[in-house]
């Protein structure tokens, strides 16, 4: 019987980030429903349109499987829905049968990581889920519970901080060009107010840099496609200290070897 895991993240970029960290352990994407572990089937939505919204994408998790594990990675589509997504799906699958249940979030709202974690810990506790005292730690279980606050459980930031750190190693020249491009746009007085987001804000600035790099690597494609396909989180970049810390958290939470 495989070990089961359930992870909730903020958005599609984070889903692909988790995939890249788990793929070295033999976990593969599941494309066809017939190949999905039967215990994960309750997480597959059965109605359309979802919630009656014709514009809304059906929230299917990314399913990853190996001979030893079956893991669902669910995008909450925003930080305000993290705990709600955990709670909603705890009614579909038996968490007591899970090896690990985890949340990955960030601090790009200029809130200290400790405060961000304290807030999610309170929310989870109110719904009956006990997180450990510190971010990045894991409870004994079953199931093992844990949450990681990007980029490193202490700094204000987000996944983009890790992407830029990886780009420095994998795509240094493209990173330099992307920074110049975004800086020029930030200082462009001809851009009308409301014609774009405020590039003077660090989270927005970093997202723009990552977007500029991804547009070169995979023109016309979404950033998550570049994370899936390109070298951001591959090979030696998996040994970057802050990237390795997230991977180690997942290894501990999901009992990967």
At residue 177, the pLDDT reads 97
At residue 178, the pLDDT reads 97
Go through the domains of the chain in sequence order and give each one's CATH number: 3-156+237-254 (3.40.50), 159-235 (no CATH)
Cβ-contact 233, 19 below 8 angstroms: no
Express each pLDDT in 51-94 by its tens digit: 788 887 878 999 999 999 999 999 998 888 999 999 999 999 99
Of the candidates 169, 85, 82, the one whose C-alpha atom is nearest the C-alpha of residue 117 is 82
At residue 193, the pLDDT reads 66
At residue 58, the pLDDT reads 78
Of the candidates 97, 83, 102, the one whose C-alpha atom is nearest the C-alpha of residue 18 is 102
Give the residues of the chain that fall short of pLDDT 50.
none
8 Cβ contact list (under 8 Å, min separation 6):
74, 75, 76, 82, 85, 86, 102, 103, 104
Cα–Cα distances (Å) from 245 to 73, 83, 87, 212, 240, in that order, read 18, 23, 26, 26, 9
At residue 45, the pLDDT reads 86
At residue 194, the pLDDT reads 66
**At residue 3, what are phi and psi to the nearest 5 degrees?**
-90, 140
């Amino acid at each position: 019987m495989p070990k089961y895991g359930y992870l909730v993240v903020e958005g599609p970029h984070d889903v692909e980030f988790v995939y890249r960290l788990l793929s070295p352990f033999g976990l593969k994407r599941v494309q066809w429903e017939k190949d999905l572990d039967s215990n994960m089937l309750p997480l597959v939505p059965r109605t359309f349109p979802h919630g009656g919204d014709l514009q809304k994408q059906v929230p299917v998790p990314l399913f990853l499987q190996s001979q030893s594990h079956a893991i669902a990675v669910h995008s909450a589509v925003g930080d305000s829905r993290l705990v709600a997504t955990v709670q909603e799906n705890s009614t579909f699958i038996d968490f007591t049968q899970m090896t690990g249940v985890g949340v990955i979030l960030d601090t790009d709202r200029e809130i200290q990581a400790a405060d961000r974690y304290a807030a999610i810990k309170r929310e989870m506790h109110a719904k009956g889920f006990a997180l450990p005292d510190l971010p990045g730690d894991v409870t004994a279980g079953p199931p093992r519970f844990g949450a990681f606050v990007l980029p490193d459980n202490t700094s204000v930031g987000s996944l983009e901080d890790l992407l830029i750190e990886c780009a420095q190693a994998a795509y240094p020249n493209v990173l330099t060009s992307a920074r110049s491009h975004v800086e020029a746009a930030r200082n462009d007085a001809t851009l009308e107010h409301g014609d774009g987001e405020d590039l003077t804000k660090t989270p927005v600035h970093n997202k723009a840099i990552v977007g500029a790099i991804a547009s070169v690597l995979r023109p016309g494609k979404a950033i998550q496609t570049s994370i899936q396909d390109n070298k951001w989180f591959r090979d030696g970049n998996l040994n970057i200290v802050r990237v390795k810390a997230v991977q180690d958290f997942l290894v501990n939470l999901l009992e990967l070897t």
